[in-house]
Structure 1
Amino acid sequence: MKKKYLITLVVPLFISFFGSAQQDKLEQATKSYDRYAYIDAQKIFLKVAEQGYRSADLFQKLGNSYYFNADYINAVRWYKELMLDYEKETKPEYYFRYAQSLKSIEAYEESDKYMNKFYGAKSEDLRAKNYQDAPDYLRKIDFQSGRYKVKNIVANSEYADFGPAYYGERLLFASARDTGVFVKRVHEWNNKPFLDLYVGKIKEDSGELEGVKKFNRRINTKFHESTPVFTNDLKTMYFTRNNYNNGNYSQDENGTNKLKIYKSTLVEKGVWSKPEEIRFNSDQYTVSHPALSPDNKKLYFVSDMPGSYGHTDLYEATIAEDGTLGDPRNLGPEINTEGREAYPFVSKSGNLYFASNGHIGLGGLDLYVTKIDAAGNIDGIYNLGNPANTPQDDFAFIINEDTKTGYFSSNRDGGNGDDDIYKFTQLEELREDCEVTLTGVVKDKDTQEVLPESQVTLFDENNEIVETVKVGVKATYNFVVECGKNYFLRADKQAYNTVEELVSTPKVTETITIPLELEKTIKTAQIGQDLGKVLNLNPIYFDFDKYNIRNDASVELAKVIAVMQEYPTMKIDVRSHTDSRGNDAYNKILSSNRNKSTIDYIVTKGKISKDRLTGKGYGESELVNKCANGVPCSVEEHQLNRRSEFIILEY
């Protein structure tokens, strides 16, 4: 028996990033099928559309065929036709695809229009919406809990010890231990003196401190010094001190002593220069708790200067090559609140850690982390969870990301004194709060066989690739994504039709299973097979008790005509069927008339020789289900029997 192979694509073989090399391979492969015919569905559909035929299905398929190949100009052309005449019957996914295509040609205003329609139509899926309800903060904190192993260090005294800072292989911190004065810190210092900087060597095996002593006499004074930070070369330090000008204890107009940041440079081993104020210190507001970016080009600090959102805010300033500071920039309302933000630290990877009582936490000051890029954009704010945070004050967090160890300060229960320094080991990286796992199996749509070596690509809502995987022998994929966002899953495999699924993730941690079923782009079409099934034609409908060709039927018949024009030796037997409702004899006549109309249409419109077509009306004699005379059936079940078949007789 002869066999022919027909391409039944409704979308292209490959998306753009497969490239021409793979297409060349396919072309070479097709040449090996000496006796087979190949029908390019895109070519057929394009030919039909350019002949003036219109339908939602036709424009969807054409738009998709270009969209999946990243040919957005042509995708816009056909999606636009879809929206002009068939918007009411268009699925929301096409609003999004059209909007994405419009963005690619910089038609932003029009794109926004269709994005709004898309969101409106899919609002039940929580797409592109910000969290509108109050967050489940206890669940979120619990989600991050357990990532640290925490221990109080032996070097703590019965007095205040806090504000650790790395100094090479040593650790600096503030303490009131040698003064005999118990210093109570309430988020900032009060005006009690005698808080100095101390230094100790970090033991490599335990992280404990040995040889703890006062730091440098030029730096320590009779007033408070705390929260130091050093440049990478250890030759420049910034630290916090009370407003202390020329030995005088200065106050603002309300009689309050403010904090200032001072800078000192290493003159020679063990000798530091006289500390100098940084340029935006003031007697009227606090500037404190300095931190440096990994490249030492930015200074982060805390202030309540005019323009702050709350009690104290986090700021940054650029550091020029000559060491001069640029103007302060508030880090904005995503980080800063009406409460208190303090004690910044920027890790080697660029994570910004800070303490706050303005963000929802466990009580007092809690520790938080966020990612801040070069432009100052914030990527989420996460509470570090327990045991890093407690109902008491937890603050001044530092970490060595190479060793996954670090220190922070806390006045939690069980410590040695007021504030203690705790060392920690990080057991696990930050968990993306509310993680959603997308998983599934890639299968052949017709056979349900798994398809190893398929490529699955995850796109974000801006059509940017997030991740791409090639599935293994079990053809399974897994992606961990964010909650409350839109993603696209796209599956590809050579000789299979590209498929795409739009996913809106929930706002709770969840695993979503999404099977990806691919349809072969090359299908076997034997003599005796229905061309309508090969081409996946929509049903050929007639009006009740009539046999004239309707507009929607003409679109499907145009596809048959295009195939017969492409293959001039092909012969088709047209078979027309009715359902069982009505008189048997009448149905036979009606189906015969419809059959004749169908053949005449193909011959006339397609200029197809009549001897290439045969046909017959079968009435209700060849039902495909149980719905014979007298058997109760639904409208949908009867509809399955009202069908047209285009049986291939020869090529």
Structure 2
Amino acid sequence: MIKRFFLLTVLFSVLGNVIIAQDRLINKADEKYQDYSFSPAIDIYKRVLDKGYTSADLLMKLGNSYYFNAEYKEASDIYKRLLNEYKEGIGPEYYFRYAQTLRSLGEYDMSKDVMAEFSRITSADVRANLYMAERDYLAEIEKNSGRYEIGKFAFNSRYSDFAPSFYGQGLIFSSDRDTGNLARYRHTWNSKDFLDLYKVNADSVSENKVVKFGDNINTRYHESTSVFTKDGNTLYFTRNNLFDGKTVKDEKGVVRLKIFKAIKENGIWTQIEELPFNSESYSIAHPTLSPDEKILYFASDMPGSYGESDIFKVAINSDGTYGTPVNLGNIINTEARETFPYVTSENVLYFSSDGHPGLGGLDIFATKISNSQYIGTVLNVGKPVNSELDDFTFIINEETRNGYFASNRENGVGQDDIYSFVETKKLEFDCIKPITGTVRDKISNQVLVGATVKVIDENNEELASSITDSNGNYSITIDCNKGNFVRATMQGYVPSEEYLNISDSKPLIVDFYLERDTVTAGYGDDLAKLLQLSTIYFDFDRFNVRPDAEIEIQKVIAAMEKYPSLKLKVTSHTDSQGVDAYNLWLSQKRAESTVAYMVSKGIASDRLQGEGFGETRLVNRCGNGIKCSKAEHQMNRRSEFLILE
């Protein structure tokens, strides 16, 4: 009995020590994980898992460590196990990442099934809508494929080489070749790559030696992704959060990334300073400039981001200050990773994403910028630039059609490699041009409510239509890659149209002025109604023409000037207040007053007649003895313009 008790005591002691040792390993792995040190974390988590210890938390962190380290086959296996063994309580993000890893392995049908489950759990997610819409995204990618001829970059190392940028006749790129750091951190907000900037062919097209760039730029920490102004004298680049030469950690112990600016003076890079919108609490990285160098684009995980990283822009003011960073919105950004922006001289924005439908890992996408708007389709640039693994840091010279990008695809030289390419066929972007305007009567200038504005293509097929609102305004869009007719129609008017040729997507105002169809106007018709005039009213017991009435009568005068043969009879009316005989006299004076006013403005007297009808033609119930409001009585104090011939 004593012997058995002793053995149990030893057994529990051993098990306790094992559990304590496992907990220590997991705590150590968690520290590495929280510090974005995914490679060491993987080693520790895997040791614990191989010993038979498992949990949902361990599988989530191990899967994420593989995922963010771009080891998608291993990540897929772990995510599959996680969702099989711990399905309850697992967040939707793990379904998305599992689907992503399956695409990286070419398992597109299985990936679609997992994405359907992801969409069911979180239908409001931008990514779910993009993938589950009625579209064959693989066919779309295939349509854009085959437009690039891929070449080799002769200066790749067996480590990580990526983030090329144009500089003079050569390139600046980022590499950890001097440190030999094998952990892949470039896609997460960490800072432990100890990357430096290198240049090749930067000074001479005949000199191919790779050398470190700028003694004052590189430090013993992390410098990466760069962009230069056209004159080559201003540099924006990514660097660790440093103070007095030492890294600074945020409240979570993470060393964040910041964008710095440097000025070249007498061949030396100086005045190195961080941009004012950097933060100690989040990362800002991967700068690129607009063609006019007035906007800086970058990636960040700052508050207000849709996902793990978003693309932002900020204005560079003429005095050297900066505006407020602006998120590019959910046409560009998703709940996943959008990063590494690049803007061409033709205002095409290229960026990498694993949130938009792709082949797996990070893919390169493009969209057209017009007037600071991103209203076109986001296109996957297709194979062979994109692969099942990570493809990123894309740049292109729009004049030569030559460019570079980086990838960790198989059969490369190192962890990440830079590839050159020639674009043999340009991407075709949707061109959406907003058209707005007003439809009016050509003679009276009165707005036409309820007019129809149509977009008709060159084959006379109707593509879209809009109805004018209470202010006569309409809004419509056209495909500005094609010629279009924009046509305005309304009953009783001659249609009018304007042909819009192929153009850019800059918004355009097109106003229409429709002429009356004279066939519809005949003897006895009220010209005021045909011209949609406001009623000509008179004040109580007055026959002088009011200022507001003058505006409407001027429209009648314009019609008579346009049609010299037109003759009118002005009929005036009163309300029922007062004696009937007096009202008849008053209405006659109103008719004569209106005729006199028109003659004074140049209309021949023989083209006009005037007759008063007193209160004999009331337009409402307000006869003698009926109590009515002032507004109701005023409706009867009016003039009409009847066509004689």
TM-score range, shorter chain: 0.3 to 0.5
TM-score norm. by structure 1 comes to 0.47
TM-score norm. by structure 2 comes to 0.47
